[in-house]
Amino acid sequence: MLTKGPAKKVTIFINEDTQHHLTALHDSLMTFLMHKGISGATATRAFSGFGSHHMLHTPKVEVLAQHLPIRIEFVETSDKVDELLPTLYEMVTDGLIEVQDTTVVKLARPSSHTEPKMPHERKEGPAKLLRVFLGEADRWHDEALYEAIVKKLRMMDVAGATVYRGILGYGAKGHEHKKSFLHVSRDLPVMISVVDTPEKIRAAAEVIEGMLEDGLIVISDVDMVRLTRSSKAAEVPDATGSNR
């Protein structure tokens, strides 16, 4: 099963009119991948292209439009790709198969509404509190800096982050930022609060420091009590005391 981490990306280039046992090859390939339990695959039809035959296929010429290129792409585990490659090699008699190393950063699946609700899990122990103080007008490339930081934290699998927007404050430069009915500041103070393990907070602080130009990072020791709803049934200990 495909999971977050190292994986293989397979790209197959064929012509739209290529046949396989009286069926379009791209249809046969997609059906084969689906029956083999591939997590997902996409077939796209190119606008124009040429291959080893050095013939330009384009929709501008009707006779050449029948040979437009098709691109099939999917991502799977290395073991699964190794299992499928021999069959794909036999099926693609005129085309190109490319395999690349890749990394799955996020694998999101729709949640099932039929699953019963499980009891809450309680996690308790020492942790770190990370607070980042910056200005609302601070930017990171083409977006607000606080939004970019939250996105980065999410990609790092940090447990959670909360952004607070201040109504009054000043920083190291001594400039007062406030919001009132007569004055609307475009640079109100913003604080991002994060609680997680010391290792994740240390890594997050290092990344955020590289994104800040003018701000403050504070790390404190805290005691964490986290309540989360379990996504799986509770494990039942057997007679030896271990979990089954």
pLDDT in tens, 182-235: 444 566 899 999 999 999 999 999 999 999 988 999 999 999 887 776 555 444
| Residue 163 to residue 148: CA distance in whole angstroms | 12
pLDDT at 107: 79
Enumerate residues 6+ apart whose C-beta is below 8 A from 188: 135, 136, 165, 166, 167, 169, 177, 178, 179
Neighbouring CB atoms inside 10 A of 49's CB total 16
pLDDT at 8: 95
Residue range 23-34: average pLDDT? Answer: 94
Percentage with pLDDT > 70 across the chain: 73
Between residues 66 and 63, which one has the greater pLDDT? 66
CA angle 225, 229, 230 (to 5 degrees): 110
Residue range 59-69: average pLDDT? Answer: 57
pLDDT at 221: 94
Neighbouring CB atoms inside 10 A of 63's CB total 7
* Among the listed residues 62, 70, 59, the one whose alpha carbon sits nearest the alpha carbon of residue 29: 70
Residue range 142-168: average pLDDT? Answer: 91
* Among the listed residues 64, 102, 95, 96, the one whose alpha carbon sits nearest the alpha carbon of residue 81: 102
